[in-house]
Structures are given as structure tokens and as C-alpha cells.
């Protein structure tokens, strides 16, 4: 497995049953858009949401961005039908909720492959994401993160997790171990890590404080429930002008060293090795995507 | 596919469409009401008829009340209403 180069800072949740939101949400341009067939959809609308998402996935506007669908667990009467719909419709990534063990990913992987074969889709082209929402999932995070080469990332889901831990959302202390465990598992597996949603959309200060924390920890991005949070998140993840200038110098020095056949190069007397160069490229990628931090 | 009971799908919210289906012997009647009837009435009827054709619905009453839905929403709502009102055992995704 190799580290992903796709930028995934913002993953916007959209209720799969809301026709108006599905018709327009592409204008907000998150890095990934996630249609939800699980908790955001009532039991009586599971069938209608599945069909709405099935057709929305085929819209040209959504084909231009990474699409993710959170299906219902495969243990429910809805999960397999969801999977049939979204794999056939060409979804980029299937997000599995409530992943407690690597076996959950294995079962999903087998089902996805069966559908790909049946509908003529290239085997392996449907990527997966596992959401960790329990103590069991956190304890098994490494095994889950390495369970399939289709996995592009793992996500921590806060609400169910704190319920399982017999606590509630607070200042983030309650998520500290889980965040670190999920993040380390993702880094070990060389896949992306996504943080929990921040549900109070009117608390900009609290949101930005949480974004700063998860960015510093090393998360790739965050699940979002309101389009308003996208720009705030992208700006917080954007590098400063100083960081961009330094990254440009690092990349230029590295390219010069490569042309000269040097294994290691230096900039202002400091050694520049592969991780420094890789980080500089990420900084430039973020700057290209959303400019410099305001 | 035969419509065997009354069923409804969708909402009357903006950008959505509500579709009602009911059984009828021998004929297929499609009634479309839309806020954009003048501009898109023909297109709406074409999408509804195509969707019904793919599901092999040849009998029944289909009432469509459109609130400015995209074609993809219209297809999804017609399919949901028909599948809810029809006698479907195994869904064939390739026709949807």
C-alpha cells in the first residue's frame, strides 16, 4: 500500500433522502461528498433514498468529484441492497458504518467484488472506507485499517463511540485515545484518517479549535454536516505564505539535487531528506487547492 | 410490472416531485402537474414514460406532481412509487 495523494480535507455528509440537497450540493465543492443512507434516513424512506442516491451518483456534476456513500450495515435488511445500488451506479468509495472487526471489511469486500463482476465494473475499482464507532473498533483499528487493499481510509465516528464508552461529547478529552488509535492505525496502513463531525454549526470558534487540534494530530480531514464548514476547514488546512515559500524552496532544491544526481541535498545548511520533500509537496498541494491561509 | 396497490413516493418540497400510483385494468394513464409545465412538460412526460417502460409498467394510474425536480430525482421517485405499488420479488438493477 502507498500513501494516498488525493486531498481529503472535507467530507460533506448529505442525507440521501433529501432531493433538494442532492440536486445542488456539488456547488459547495468539498474534497469528497458523502451521501448518507444510514442514520440520516428514516426506516420508511430507505428504499427511496437508495434510488435517489443511485441516480444522483450518475450526475455529471458528481462524477467530477469523489463520491462516497455510507451504506447501512450489512447485518440489516438494507445494507446489501444499498451496496447493489451504489456499486452499480459507480460510486468511488463505500463507507461501512459500525466497523468493529476486520471481518466486517472482509464481508463487505466479498460482496463488492461479487457485484462488480455481475455488473461488469472493473474488479477493485470500488474503494472502501471503514467507520470506527465503538471501543471494539478502536481496539481493532490496526487490523481494520489493514484488512483490504481497497481501503482508502478509516474514520472515527464520535456519537456512537462515546455512547459505547458510557460518556458524552465534551471538550475532546473523551475522544483523545480513540483519535490517536485511529490515526496511528491509518498511518501504519498508509491510508487516510478522518475525524468526527462537529455538530454545533453555529459554534465557529469551537469548530475551528477542533479543526486545529485534529490537524495538529495529523488527521487528513474531517466529516462535515454543514456546507458552511467547508471553507472554514479548507482555510484552516491551508498553509501560510511563509510555509508555501519554504516548501517551494525545498522542492526546488530537491529537484536540483535530483538533476545533479545527489542523494541528499541541503537548504540553508539544513539537510532535506525524503519526508521533508514529501511534506513540502503536500503543503504546495494544499496551497494549490485553497490558496494561502487568510 | 403490475401495480397491485396504491403507493406514493417523494415530497412536495422544492426540487422534489411526488408520484402516486394506483392499479388500473387495461390502460396506463399518466397525469403530470408541474410548476414548470410550460418549459419542461414534454421532457417530464418523456422521462416518466421512459422510466415506466423500463419497468414494464403497462397498466395503472400514475400521478406526477412536480416541484422543479431534476430528471434523476423524477426517475428515482417514479421507480420508488412503482416498486412500492408493484409485486416485485427480485429487483433487476440493470433496468433502473
Mean pLDDT value of segment B30-44: 93
Give A160's strand partners.
Answer: none
Alpha-carbon distance of A67 to A31, in angstroms, equals 9
Q: Are strands A270-272 and A265-267 parallel, antiparallel or unpaired?
A: antiparallel
> ipTM score of the complex?
0.95
B72:A119 CB<8 A: no
Place of cell 479548507: A234
- At B4, the pLDDT band (50, 70, 90 cuts) reads very high
pLDDT of A141 = 98
pLDDT of A211 = 96
Helices assigned H by DSSP within chain B: 37-54, 71-85
- Which of A22, A27, A52 to mutate to probe the B interface, most B CBs <10 Å? A52
CB of A87 within 8 Å of any CB in chain B? no
Residues of B in contact with A14 (CB under 8 A): none
B69:A54 CB<8 A: no
| Grid cell for residue A238 | 491551508
- Per DSSP (E only), the strands in A191-243 are 192-195, 221-224
Angle at A9 between CA A6 and CA A13, to 5 degrees: 110
| Straight-line distance from the first to the last Cα atom of chain B, in angstroms, rounded to the nearest whole number | 13
- Which of B93, B94, B95, B96 to mutate to probe the A interface, most A CBs <10 Å? B93
Chain segment A110-131, per-residue pLDDT in tens: 999 999 999 999 999 999 999 9
Burial of A121 (0-12, 13-18, 19+ CB in 10 A): middle
Neighbouring CB atoms inside 10 A of A290's CB total 22
Across the interface, of B70, B80, B93, the residue whose CB is closest to A84 is: B93
Instruction: Please state the separation of Cα A253 from the chain's center in Å.
Output: 32
Size of chain A in residues:
294
CB of A82 within 8 Å of any CB in chain B? no
Place of cell 463482476: A117
pLDDT of B78 = 98
Cβ neighbours of residue A37 closer than 8 Å, sequence gap 6 or more:
A16, A46, A49, A50, A53, A69, A70, A71, A72, A78, A82
What torsion, rounded to 10 degrees, do the Cα atoms A69, A74, A77, A80 define? 60
Which three-class secondary structure state does DSSP give residue A166?
Answer: coil
Show the low-confidence residues of chain A (pLDDT under 70). 1-4
| Grid cell for residue A61 | 456534476
Amino acid at each position: 500500500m502507498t500513501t494516498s495523494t488525493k486531498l481529503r480535507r472535507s467530507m460533506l455528509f448529505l442525507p440521501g433522502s433529501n432531493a433538494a440537497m442532492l440536486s445542488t450540493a456539488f456547488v459547495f465543492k468539498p474534497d469528497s461528498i458523502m451521501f448518507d443512507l444510514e442514520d440520516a434516513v428514516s426506516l420508511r424512506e430507505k428504499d427511496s433514498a437508495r434510488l435517489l442516491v443511485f441516480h444522483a451518483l450518475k450526475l455529471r456534476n458528481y462524477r467530477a468529484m469523489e463520491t462516497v456513500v455510507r451504506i447501512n450495515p450489512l447485518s440489516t435488511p438494507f445494507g446489501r441492497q444499498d451496496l447493489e445500488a451504489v456499486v452499480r451506479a459507480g460510486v468511488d468509495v463505500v463507507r461501512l458504518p459500525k466497523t468493529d472487526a476486520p471481518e466486517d471489511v472482509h464481508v463487505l469486500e466479498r460482496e463488492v467484488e461479487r457485484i462488480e463482476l455481475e455488473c461488469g465494473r472493473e474488479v477493485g475499482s470500488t474503494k472502501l472506507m471503514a467507520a470506527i464507532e465503538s471501543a471494539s473498533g478502536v481496539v481493532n483499528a490496526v487490523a481494520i485499517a489493514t484488512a483490504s487493499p481497497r481501503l482508502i481510509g478509516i474514520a472515527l465516528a464520535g456519537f456512537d463511540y462515546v455512547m459505547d464508552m458510557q460518556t458524552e461529547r465534551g471538550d475532546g478529552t473523551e475522544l483523545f485515545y480513540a483519535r490517536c488509535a485511529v490515526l496511528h492505525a491509518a498511518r501504519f496502513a498508509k491510508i487516510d484518517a478522518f475525524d468526527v463531525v462537529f455538530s454545533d454549526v453555529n459554534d465557529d470558534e469551537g469548530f475551528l479549535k477542533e479543526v486545529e487540534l485534529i490537524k495538529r494530530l495529523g488527521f487528513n480531514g474531517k466529516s462535515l454536516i454543514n456546507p458552511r464548514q467547508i471553507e472554514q476547514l479548507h482555510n484552516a488546512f491551508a498553509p501560510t505564505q511563509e510555509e508555501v515559500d519554504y516548501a517551494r524552496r525545498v522542492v526546488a532544491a530537491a529537484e536540483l539535487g535530483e538533476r545533479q544526481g545527489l542523494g541528499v541535498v541541503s537548504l540553508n545548511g539544513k539537510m532535506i531528506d525524503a519526508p521533508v520533500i514529501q511534506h513540502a509537496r503536500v503543503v504546495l498541494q494544499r496551497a494549490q487547492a485553497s490558496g494561502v491561509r487568510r | 410490472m403490475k401495480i397491485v396497490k396504491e403507493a406514493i413516493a417523494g415530497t412536495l418540497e422544492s426540487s422534489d416531485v411526488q408520484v402516486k400510483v394506483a392499479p388500473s385494468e387495461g390502460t396506463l394513464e399518466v397525469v403530470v402537474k408541474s410548476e414548470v409545465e410550460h418549459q419542461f412538460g414534454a421532457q417530464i412526460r418523456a422521462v416518466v414514460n421512459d422510466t415506466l417502460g423500463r419497468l414494464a409498467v403497462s397498466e395503472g394510474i400514475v400521478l406526477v406532481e412536480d416541484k422543479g425536480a431534476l430528471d434523476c430525482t423524477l426517475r428515482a421517485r417514479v421507480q420508488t412509487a412503482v416498486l412500492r405499488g408493484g409485486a416485485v420479488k427480485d429487483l433487476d438493477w440493470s433496468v433502473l
